[in-house]
Amino acid sequence: MTATAQPAATAADLVGLFPPGSRLDEDGGLVVAGCRANDLADRFGTPAVIVDEGALRERARSYVRALAEHWPNSQTVFASKSFPCTAVVRVMAEEGLGIDVAGGGELVAALAAGADPALLVVHGNAKTDEDLDMAVRAGAGTVVVDNFDDIDRLEHLVEGEQRVLLRVIPGVDADTHEAMATGHAGSKFGLSVPDAVRAAARLRVSDRLRLEGLHVHVGSQLLDTEPFARAVEAVGAIGELGEHAVYDLGGGLGVRYTYEDRPPTIEEYIRTLTDAARKHLPATARLLVEPGRSLVAGAAATLYRAVTVKRGPRTLVAVDGGMGDNLEPMLYGQRFEATVATRVGGGESCDLVGRHCESGDTLIRDIPLREPRVGDVIAVPVTGAYCYSLSNNYNGARRPPVVFCHEGEAREVVRRETYDDLLRRDVPAGWPPRSVRLR
């Protein structure tokens, strides 16, 4: 996956990357969920993450409908790491999804959002005693065992009975960025098939841990369904789990970031999984899927304001955000598109760069922007996945707000950080000193 220039797009092409139902107003300005982008920027400041709540809910419902139609004994589980915002998790819980959490912070957010603890799926390749203790005390329904040390810790912590799944490396190489691949031999996630067989034997004799089935995941941002089918075949070959076993088939469905991307539909993805399940798994098995990126990415956009425009060998449009609120271009080479919110489509080729003191702080290279000027609102679509998760305070940046929009109304669900927030964890200097003698 590389950040390469794309063909110039029309206004309709650009609007099509924003949440479904986005449009242009009578003056040619971008409107998302009935709210003008410029009005949102004026009211909530920039950078700001704008979420179309209706689009978010409809995406969740699409998953639930498709999975229920093709495999009734099933559950959709939201991979909350993709957008671990309490309000987003609350939407997913309200729509009947379980919640996948990896770490104490995501667990706390899920519980604060009102998620049913029985529908929590706890992940992690290096779960600490604290992580597992929090999960057990919260009554998390399922813990995914990733290694033998998870078994040791859980047997020490669990007092009653804990349902577990065993994560297996399927040995499937997926066509995605190497940092997003998880199902290949040597992955840090899960156990090889021989080790998984040994772990399963140990779990079967445990009086505290109940092995319910297997978990598999091959990677993220996959634009081809074939690796998903191969992963199902791989876990089906392990066998000896009983006709009512649970098979968590993970997530990983890719999304359309650029005009050239052609991801499978939810229907195509689910059909691939369930067709493979009919071939390789018991008909009475329970299936789980864990979408993250494909649930949230397209429901959101980020608004920036142009701070400066430099013209020379390249036209550089610098905005008031960057790698502090979107690390995906820097980490994965992910390509995004963008537009001036009041002049959508066409324009001169520019590099959209951030405000951080790194030459690598470039959001998008070779992006057409029409007559970019200082003060313009720049809108970047498809920022609902991992941008919020990876936001940071580099150069003292304050992490942006999250704003839910629906039918022309907007409300802030996460406020912008303040400078006081950046200092809040500092321990005040004073007398007596707070140092502790260790020897």
**Which residues are the active-site residues?**
357
Coil, helix or strand at residue 264:
coil
Cα dihedral value 150, 153, 156, 161, nearest 10: -30
C-alpha pair distances (Å), 246 with each of 72, 142, 181, 351:
13, 11, 23, 48
CA-CA distance, 284 to 148, in Å (whole number)? 28
Strand partners, 79: 100
Q: CA end-to-end span of the chain, whole Å?
A: 52
For the chain, helix (H) and strand (E) counts, in that order, are 13, 20
CA-CA distance, 160 to 141, in Å (whole number)? 13
List, in sequence order, the alpha helices (H) in 71-208.
86-94, 104-112, 129-138, 148-157, 193-204
CA-CA distance, 132 to 116, in Å (whole number)? 17
Here the tokens at position 79 are 């991979």
List, in sequence order, the alpha helices (H) in 26-182.
37-44, 53-70, 86-94, 104-112, 129-138, 148-157
Here the tokens at position 401 are 């707000």
Q: Counting Cβ atoms within 10 Å, is residue 16 exposed (0-12), middle (13-18) or buried (19+)?
A: middle
Phi/psi of residue 25, each to 5°?
A: -80, -175
Angle at 372 between CA 369 and CA 378, to 5 degrees: 70
Closest CA to 387 of 30, 122, 51: 51
Contact 73, 93 (CB under 8 A): no
| Helix, strand and coil in the chain, % to nearest 5 | 30, 25, 45
CA-CA distance, 197 to 209, in Å (whole number)? 16
CA-CA distance, 156 to 164, in Å (whole number)? 15
Angle at 220 between CA 218 and CA 221, to 5 degrees: 130
Strand partners, 181: 219
Task: For the beta carbon of residue 149, count every other beta carbon within 10 angstroms.
Answer: 11
